């Protein structure tokens, strides 16, 4: 056997071991996406498509949450990002500032992103819901159903290499209502060909600091997937 053949065989063995180590689970049911915006190329067209989406969100009255919002909260970060974080819904600070993850949980998320070796402005951050549920209550299923097409359009435009779901609401919205975050966190799922890793929401980590070590394991998996996908 030549050196080249041995090298290729070693590479294939490592690849197979990697696949076994990262078991990819299929999303059991995709929610039916609303007609997505045309897939946008990188650069200006992507920004234009997202700006058009912001206008749609600001005009949206598909559920009752528009009545109590100060600002619709669509996203923060880089539309060309390889990594997207998806949280639950804006809270009070986010509603006031019109940006996702700017309160205490947002500060922790920023630290988590930096601990991964990235800058917050180098990733793309958004939520399942674009408007704040009053009193920060949990989103209702019909609100999630009404708002999800916007998230699906965001993902179709940004086209990240990896998606990280933050908390139970995001996990249920993307993976299906039956999933439990404690069971699926750290697993690799598939969303239209993009790997998805659920982990705990930063707000939960603030209430339960011992869970941070599990979230860190999940984030390391996200980083590994990003490195594997170039
Ligand atoms: S939460 Fe979403 S679906 Fe409801 S009004 Fe706001 S943008 Fe529309």
Buried-exposed string 31-68: b where 16+ CB fall within 10 A, e elsewhere: beeeeebeebeeeeebeebbeebeeebeebeebebeee
Instruction: Tell me how far apart the alpha carbons of residues 82 and 91 are, in angstroms, rounded to a whole number.
Output: 25
Residue 99 has pLDDT above 80, yes or no: yes
- Count of alpha carbons within 13 Å of 161, Cβ hemisphere only? 13
Pocket of ligand 1 (CB under 6 A): 57, 60-63, 65-66, 72, 129-131, 143, 146-147
Mutate to test the pocket of ligand 1, among 146, 152, 173 (most ligand atoms within 8 A of CB): 146
Instruction: Tell me how far apart the alpha carbons of residues 107 and 16 are, in angstroms, rounded to a whole number.
Output: 38
Instruction: Tell me how far apart the alpha carbons of residues 46 and 208 are, in angstroms, rounded to a whole number.
Output: 38
Strands (E), 92-148: 124-127
Residue 17's pLDDT is 45
pLDDT digits (tens, 9 = 90+) for 159-197: 999 999 999 999 999 999 999 999 999 999 999 999 999
Residue 5's pLDDT is 39
The structural domains of the chain, ordered by start, are 41-228 (3.40.470.10)
Residue 106's pLDDT is 98
Residue 44's pLDDT is 81
As a whole number, the mean pLDDT across the chain is 87
Residue 141 has pLDDT above 80, yes or no: yes
Residue 25's pLDDT is 59
Q: Which residue has the higher pLDDT, 37 or 70?
A: 70
Residue 204's pLDDT is 98
């Amino acid at each position: 056997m030549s050196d080249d053949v041995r090298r290729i065989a070693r590479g294939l063995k490592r690849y197979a071991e990697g696949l076994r180590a990262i078991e990819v689970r299929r999303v059991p049911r995709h929610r039916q996406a609303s007609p997505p915006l045309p897939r946008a190329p990188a650069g200006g067209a992507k920004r234009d498509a997202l700006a058009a989406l912001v206008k749609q969100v600001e005009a949206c009255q598909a559920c009752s949450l528009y009545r109590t919002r100060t600002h619709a909260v669509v996203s923060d970060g880089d539309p060309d990002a390889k990594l997207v974080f998806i949280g639950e819904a804006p809270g009070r600070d986010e509603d006031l500032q019109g940006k996702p993850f700017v309160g205490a949980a947002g500060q922790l998320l920023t630290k988590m992103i930096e601990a991964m070796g990235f800058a917050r402005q180098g990733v793309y951050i958004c939520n399942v819901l674009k408007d704040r549920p009053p009193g920060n209550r949990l989103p209702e299923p019909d609100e999630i159903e009404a708002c999800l097409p916007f998230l699906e359009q965001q993902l179709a435009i940004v086209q990240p290499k990896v998606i990280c779901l933050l908390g139970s609401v995001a996990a249920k919205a993307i993976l299906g209502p039956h999933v439990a975050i404690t069971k699926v966190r750290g697993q690799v799922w598939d969303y239209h060909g993009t790997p998805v890793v659920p982990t705990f929401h930063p707000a939960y980590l603030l209430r339960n600091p011992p869970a941070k070590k599990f979230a860190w394991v999940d984030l390391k998996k996200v980083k590994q997937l990003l490195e594997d996908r170039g």
